[in-house]
Amino acid sequence: MAFSSMAFLFGFLPLTLLCCFLIPARFRTGRNTILLLFSLAFYGWGGIRLLLVLLASCVVNWGAALLAAPGRRHRKAAFVTALVLNLGMLGYFKYTGFLLNNLNALGVDVTVPSIMLPAGISFFTFQAIAYLADVYRGTIPAERSLPRLTLFMAFFPQVLQGPILRYGEFAPALTDRRETAADAADGAVRFCFGLAKKVLLADALGQIADGAFVAGDRLTAGLAWLGAIAYTLQLYFDFSGYTDMALGLGRIFGFRLPENFNYPYVSKSASEFWRRWHMTLSFWFRDYVYIPLGGSRCSRGRQVLNLLAVWLLTGLWHGSAWNFVLWGLYYAALLMGERFLWGRALDRLPAALRHVYALVLITIGWVLFRCTSLGQVGEMLSAMSGAAPGGAWSGEAAYYLRQFRWELLAAIPAALPVKNWLAAKLEVRRASGSRSAALTLALAPKLLALTLLGLSTVRLLGSTFRSFLYFQF
């Protein structure tokens, strides 16, 4: 069930809110139980067998953490066993087909089974591994309540696409959170903005990207660049839109989930981009892979190996295909280049040139990410470099520009911190005593959110449903 579906917006969510807030706030366990039951129902909407996979992961990691806590005998064996089980489950569901297909390509005749991928398995598996590692290190105590840990793993606002949570940050809110009308209003506003990102911008821009990436012999240089730019924007609005909805829902229920995006397209380097994009994933790889491997406190050769390992795993985490491996290695090369080779020269360039440098490299990276085969990667990059089968421009590219001109124009300020700039200026005026500024700060976001909710609902009623891009991960 997607947040942008009518079933969620006008069925599941209102019922969850009603059942949760009918229980007085002092009965915290009761509200947690309601959230757990609705979270399991939300995930089970995709199939009971897939829900059983999530529940099995919760039970295994709950028990393993109790056995791996400091002071327990054989705790290292418990931790390693649980780690192998988590990675084995992720490997079976996500990479079995990839491995067997490659064996077939090498001439080994094997049957490739049809394995349904549980939604969000990469996200909840990484949460489980982080929880186990933190318990094993003694950073947090093991959770003795299975329902509480299951709510952490299955919490419906973020189970499908993150952000990736840490139990040490989530657990206190299970007992000490306070749900307020102000937080609920702020959460609802953020949810509406995220919904608009997905429905009004990402889905429209996706039509341009889809057309360009399947153009084949019709592909022109202009269409290739237009499709690449459209996909660059689509992926941001799709994923950050989901994150806004997740954080907004969490805020309504009294949970403050971690930020996952910080306007990544204002970056001036690939390194800065990854400090702003999917931040909880970057922090996860930093804390549980890069630093344990030695991080940057080692020889340059070892740093190179550490970065290669992290980015190879990052690519594979995103998908079981060679283009994702290539995408991960591409960023490994960029980040190593900025760290060891041209980083100082880059810092001396004017800010505008650094923006262009970053945006071009990021866009090329998303082409690697979007393509379904290495052959298609070559076709798109060749077209973007000027060697397109259809020449420089076409009527198809002009059609997309005319058809989606308003979405393209709206996408540019929406991807920039324009809202923050305006809010900061209004805050200065409000602090100086301006009543109009205070009124604008109080009412404008809510009125805009209501408008966007109405427009999004109209668009949903009149268009075909498009799933979130990161559901496949």
Residues recognised as catalytic: 318
Tell me how many degrees the CA angle 244-198-183 measures, rounded to the nearest 5: 25
Question: Which phi and psi angles does 341 have, rounded to 5°?
Answer: -120, -70
Q: Could you give the angle at which helices 221-252 and 374-384 cross, rounded to 10 degrees? A: 110
Retrieve residue 234's tokens: 């689509």
Task: Classify each residue of 261-273 as buried b or exposed e, where b means 16 or more C-beta atoms within 10 Å of its C-beta.
Answer: bebbbebbbbbbb
What is the rounded CA–CA span in Å between residue 182 and residue 175? 20
What is the rounded CA–CA span in Å between residue 93 and residue 88? 9
Task: Classify each residue of 318-354 as buried b or exposed e, where b means 16 or more C-beta atoms within 10 Å of its C-beta.
Answer: bbbbbbbbbbbbbbbebbbebeeeeeeebeeeeeeeb
What is the rounded CA–CA span in Å between residue 100 and residue 108? 9
Question: Following DSSP, what letter does each residue of 66-113 receive, concatenated?
Answer: HHHSTT-TTHHHHHHHHHHHHHHHHHHHHHHHHHHHHHHHTT------
